[in-house]
Amino acid sequence: MCLRAVLVYKTCNKKSGIFSLLRDMIPQNKGFHEPKYVTPHLIRHMNPNVKLIVIFRDPLERLYSHYYHRGRNILTPEGFHNAVVEDLINLHRCIQKASLRHCLYSWELRKKVKTLYSAGMYSLHLRKWLAVFPQDRFLFLKTEEFSADMAGHLRTVFKHLGLRQLADDKMARILKHPRGNVGPNKLKAMPMWNSTRRILSRLYTPFVHELAMILQDERFLWKY
């Protein structure tokens, strides 16, 4: 893998876009309609023995939280609903002509996106990583469970990374640290509309079921 691609990736400009860059600037991607080499390949090139931690959150809640975190659109349940509908209409139009993967890497489609819905298609992304790294390199966690037992999960993380466990007083200091990324927009957010939940549950259910199948763990089903 060409190291130049890693360096250029960090200086990506808005005009070319990350997705065009992956296709055009990495030499091994030239000539393909969809990028053949993506982030996992770059990481393996830089650190083939890397250990990875993945924490999954209910994709509906993740999308709603991210929408308010960005703060770039109409920050109401109705605004979110309309943004989701518009995004999925554009996605549907794209996949009438091309594969889902092609559409998700399309810069033309990306420029229209108002919600980062593709991030919640967990199984689609995970398969890219598992094609490069063996599954025992990964530690898979759930946000909901991590929040309920941070100390226990941090001990699991340290074990996965081969690090010594922290003393109780040091762990206590970490647990007292205030949460980050809780901006005023999130604090004022009203509940998501039920109609929006139904739309998103139909979108994400196939990916959630595939994720649980890949991991052989029904904890990741998030039954709606």
119 — pLDDT class (breaks 50, 70, 90):
very high
**What's the average model confidence in pLDDT over 144-158?**
96
d(CA 69, CA 71): 5
114 — pLDDT class (breaks 50, 70, 90):
very high
Of the given ranges (82-91, 149-158, 170-179), which has the lowest mean pLDDT? 170-179
Q: What is the token pair recorded at 161?
A: 């990374």
What is the average pLDDT value for the chain, to the nearest integer? 87
At 54 the three-state DSSP class reads strand
- The pLDDT of residue 189 is 84
Helices (H), 111-182: 122-130, 143-148, 150-161, 168-175
The DSSP element (H or E) to which 142 belongs, if any, is strand 138-142
Domain edges within the chain: 57-137+166-221
**What's the average model confidence in pLDDT over 22-47?**
80
- pLDDT over 70, % of the chain: 88
Nearest alpha carbon to residue 146 among 220, 56, 52, 210: 56
Per-residue pLDDT of 68-87, as tens digits, reads 998 878 899 999 999 999 99
